[in-house]
A and B are shown apart, each in its own frame.
Chain A
Amino acid sequence: MTKTGPAPSNTGLEAHYRQMRRIRSFEERVGELFVRGESAGSMLHLSIGEESAAVGVCSAMRDGDTFTTHHRGHGIFLARGADPNRMMAEIAGKATGYCHGKGGSMHIADMSLGHLGANAIVGGGIPAVVGAALAARRRGTGQLSVAFFGDGAMGQGILYESMNMAALWDLPAVFVCINNQWGMGTRIDQATRVTALHDRAAAFGLAAETVDGRDVREVQAAAARILDGARAGRPGFLAVECYRFFGHARKDKSPYRSPKEEAAGRSRDPVAFARDALIAAGMAEARLDEIDQAIATEMEASIDAAIAAEEPPLQAMFRDVFAPDAPEPEPLARRIDRVLARD
């Protein structure tokens, strides 16, 4: 950890706890949706264990700020205010989802909340943040743009090209690396000699820090420093150290990790840490149980709604390839009719 801010206070911790619990609860339901065979496919990447990164950074963002995420982005989107019903429906590939069932878990977006898109290409969403920041600065909107990605993206050249341009042009852009120690079956030290990831960002002239993700208050404090700096024209980088509690995607049981390592990783649980801190500060456990229960009920309802929702109509396939005014592509069956209807 390069820097730690002032000792974190309890202010807002309950709100952070609720947000993190909502994410945990949502992700557990995504797992359930998969087990019940109601998800669209198995490419579901749960962010359990990383809730503090999402909540800590997002709480330092403002209305109007934009962001992109990687494939493990459910928590970030929820922390920016997503509707769990529409998210769950999207993950199930249903018409009522954020992207009408076309995008799914890995390609979810909502422009009204500043979500410029999740991405199934490692590193794919990073440069858009440079463009969004460029536009914000040129138009003087005061918006900030934040790229969220995993440690695996530290292997992609496009990240370095993007950080260099953001620094060169003093853009209101922030690069947030959620370092959960693993990229599929590759541990961070099996992918790089330099595991102090912020060093690389600093080399491009960004304000760069690493923060321990166990305590959401510390993440928020670090994020506030970096984001405020970026808003003032000094782009930044923040690595949040955490642990991917489960497999890479729903079918992966992580045979490449030792039970001992997993136990150590899961003991750094940001949700449990915040809960303990609230209890230590005098909050009644019964009250916390009530909060948890109310959240579980809300998330349970999102599953039921997703399962009950309509499939997208087949005609939707041809919609949105181009803008609404453009002619839609001709369906193959109709084309065949036309070609063969000669007499």
Chain B
Amino acid sequence: METLTYREALRRALADAMEEDPDVFVIGEEVGRYGGAYGVTKGLIEQFGPDRLIDTPISEAAIVGTGVGAAMAGMRPVVELMYVDFIGMTMDQLANQAAKIRYMFGGQIGVPMVLRTQGGTGRSAGAQHSQSLEAYVMHTPGLRLAMPATVADAYHLLRQALRQPDPVVFIEHKALYALSEAVDLAAPVPDWGRAALRRPGGDLAIVSYSRQLHHALAAAERLDAEGIAAAVIDLRTLNPLDFETVRGAVEAAGRAMVVSEGPLTAGVAAELAARISEECFDFLENPVLRVAGEDVPISVSPGLEAASVPTPELIVDAARRLMA
């Protein structure tokens, strides 16, 4: 066992992958000399040099497109997008190019690129630096999507993402970088595409991912004290989506709630809730509840920011009412 932060685990994954495979390289704004806006790549340029930690101008569309081309040419690029909020600037390269190349070209070639980025609230960074935009990605056929919630997953999901034959969008949460956990990175982890049951419970299934997993776990702890046993599922990857694990917990409990930081409407929680309703209908005693971000932009005011995304209190409250 060793104690690592989420940030350190990500850095370790990049270093190990670069050590193992000379085709892996990192490209993005401030990834080299500066060490990444959130410090993930700090020190890597000393170890691997500027040819493998490539600092770029502020040119997101071309940076992602460069990753697409390098991947098609047989490399393993890790493209860093400083904030997921900038994904719109790269959306053509991501959604029209990376996502569709294998399909449009009749399966001749794939784009094994990893796009690392971070999102979410928690720093009073305002409407253009605090969003949760995973639904944009999940809505696009051809893109894989991983969102680690734990330190071990920060490491393993990134390593696994770098072995995928297709483009992976890898979204970290800015409020998790300092999360510190004791981990044994040599211990077995779930395969790529498998969800993890983080807490068993037979009364209610809470499905979540990324930072909201921690809120869900905190809520489950409090609910336990009230005699409500909530199972908590960490999806880990949203594409592939491990619906079987979700189904197992929901059918056992008969009640389900999906918790996500992204805006409620047409979000990840909406997709999960629809699927649970369709596929587990006979087992449900209540409507599937979506607990998600308010349908508003994120304010810079810390009070408004905090109130615009789910909190453990809101999850507890909703769970109590689902059980009533």
Q: Do A and B bind each other?
A: yes
Which residues of A are at the interface with B, using a C-beta cutoff of 8 A? 40-43, 93-94, 101-107, 119-124, 152-157, 183-186, 190-192, 256, 311-312, 314, 316-318, 321, 329, 331-333, 335-337, 339-340
Residue in contact with A102 in the complex, picked from B57, B89, B127, B264, CB distance below 8 Å: B127
> Chain A: which residue is nearest B293 at the CB level?
A332
Q: Tell me whether B286 and A340 are in contact (CB under 8 A).
A: yes
Q: Which of B26-34, B104-112, B156-164 contacts A (4 or more CB under 8 A)?
A: B26-34
Greatest chain A CB density within 10 A among B30, B85, B299, B324 is at B299
B227 within 8 A of A: no
Contacts of B303 in A (CB 8 A): 93, 311-312, 314
Do the beta carbons of B300 and A102 come within 8 Å of each other?
Answer: yes
Q: Are A185 and B34 in contact (CB under 8 A)?
A: yes
CB atoms of B124 and A93 under 8 A apart? yes
Query: What are the residues of chain A within 8 A of B314 when measuring CB–CB?
Result: 332-333
Assess whether A104 is in contact with B300, with CB atoms less than 8 Å apart: yes
Is B61 interfacial (CB-CB < 8 Å)?
yes
Chain B: which residue is nearest A39 at the CB level? Answer: B124
The answer to whether residues A41 and B124 also contact, given A93-B302, A314-B307 and a CB cut-off of 8 A, is yes
Distance (whole angstroms) from the CB of A331 to the closest CB of chain B: 7
Given the known interface contacts A41-B124, A104-B124, A192-B57, the answer about A321 and B30 at a Cβ–Cβ threshold of 8 Å is no
CA distance A107 to B296 in the complex (A): 16
Q: 17 additional contacts, CB 8 Å, given A184-B34, A329-B295?
A: A41-B123, A43-B124, A102-B297, A104-B301, A107-B300, A120-B85, A121-B85, A121-B89, A124-B128, A157-B61, A186-B29, A186-B34, A186-B57, A312-B301, A314-B304, A340-B289, A340-B321
Chain B residues contacting A153 (CB-CB under 8 Å) are 58
B75, CB-defined interface residue at 8 Å: no
Q: When the two chains form the complex, which single residue of A106, A122, A317 contacts B299, counting CB atoms closer than 8 Å?
A: A317
| B254-296 interface (Cβ within 8 A of A) | 264, 286-287, 289, 291-292, 294-296
| B318, CB-defined interface residue at 8 Å | yes
B115 to chain A, nearest CB (A): 18
Contacts of A93 in B (CB 8 A): 124, 299-304
26 residue pairs from A and B, CB less than 8 Å apart: A41-B125, A43-B129, A93-B124, A93-B299, A93-B300, A94-B301, A101-B304, A102-B299, A104-B301, A106-B128, A107-B300, A120-B129, A123-B58, A152-B58, A155-B58, A157-B62, A185-B30, A186-B29, A186-B30, A191-B57, A314-B303, A332-B264, A332-B314, A335-B264, A337-B321, A339-B287
Q: Of B127, B286, B303, B318, which is in contact with the most chain A CB atoms at under 10 Å from its CB?
A: B303
Query: Is B228 on the interface with A (CB-CB < 8 A)?
Result: no
- Residues on A with C-beta less than 8 A from B317 are 333, 336
The reply on B322 being an interface residue by CB < 8 A is: yes
For the residues of A in contact with B, the DSSP-based class is loop
The chain B residue sitting closest to A336, CB to CB, is B318
- Whether, in the assembled complex, B308 has its beta carbon less than 8 Å from a beta carbon of chain A, the answer is yes
Contacts A41-B125, A102-B300 given; indicate if A156 touches B58 (C-beta within 8 A).
yes
Binding site for A on B (CB under 8 A): 29-30, 33-34, 37, 55-59, 61-62, 85-86, 89, 123-129, 264, 286-287, 289, 291-292, 294-297, 299-304, 307-308, 310, 314, 317-318, 321-322, 324
CA distance A156 to B59 in the complex (A): 5
Q: Which residues of A contact B57 (CB under 8 A)?
A: 152, 154-155, 183, 186, 191-192
Known: A121-B128, A332-B294. A312 touches B304 (CB 8 A): yes
3 nearest A-B pairs in the assembled complex, by CB-CB distance? A41-B124, A104-B300, A155-B57
CA distance A74 to B301 in the complex (A): 18
Q: Are B299 and A340 in contact (CB under 8 A)?
A: no
A43 touches B295 (CB 8 A): no
Asked whether A332 lies within 8 Å of B302 as measured between CB atoms, the reply is no
Chain B residues with CB below 8 A from A317, complex form: 294, 296, 299, 304, 307-308
B211 to chain A: closest CB distance in Å? 17
For B294, list chain A residues within 8 Å (CB). 317-318, 329, 331-332
Residues of A within 8 A of B37 (CB): 184
Q: B124 near A40 (CB under 8 angstroms)?
A: yes
A329 contacts B296, C-beta separation under 8 Å = yes
A225 to chain B, nearest CB (A): 29
* Contacting residues, chain B, for A152 (C-beta < 8 A): 57-58
Determine the distance from Cα of A121 to Cα of B30 in the docked complex, in whole angstroms: 16
Q: Is the CB of B58 within 8 A of A107?
A: no
Pick the residue among A43, A102, A192, A329 that contacts B125 (CB under 8 A): A43
User: B residues within 8 A CB of A256?
Assistant: 33-34
| B59 CB, nearest partner CB in chain A, Å | 4
Contact B300 A41 (CB under 8 A): yes
Which B residues are in CB contact (< 8 Å) with A94? 301
CB distance from A42 to the nearest CB of B (A): 7
A120: B residues at CB distance < 8 A:
85, 125-129
With A and B bound together, what is the CA distance between A305 and B289 in angstroms? 43
Beta-carbon contact of B297 and A321 below 8 Å = yes
Which A residues are in CB contact (< 8 Å) with B127?
A: 102-103, 107, 120
In the bound assembly, the distance between CA atoms of A186 and B37 in angstroms comes to: 12
B296 close to A321 (CB less than 8 A): yes
Q: In the complex, which residues of chain B have a beta carbon less than 8 angstroms from the beta carbon of A329?
A: 294-296
- What distance in Å separates the Cβ of A340 from its nearest Cβ neighbour in chain B? 5
Instruction: Please tell me if the beta carbons of B128 and A185 are within 8 angstroms of each other in the complex.
Output: no
Q: What residues of chain A lie closer than 8 Å to B58, measured between beta carbons? A: 122-123, 152-153, 155-156, 183, 191
- Look across to chain B and name the residue whose beta carbon is closest to the beta carbon of A311: B303
Q: Are B301 and A339 in contact (CB under 8 A)?
A: no
Chain A residue at minimum C-beta to C-beta distance from B321: A340
Chain B residues with Cβ below 8 Å from A339 are 287, 289
B124 touches A121 (CB 8 A): no
- Min CB gap A250→B, angstroms: 12
Taking CB atoms, residues of chain A closer than 8 Å to B61 are 157
Residues of A within 8 A of B289 (CB): 336, 339-340
User: Is there contact, CB below 8 Å, between A104 and B30?
Assistant: no
- A190→B56 CA distance, assembly (Å): 8
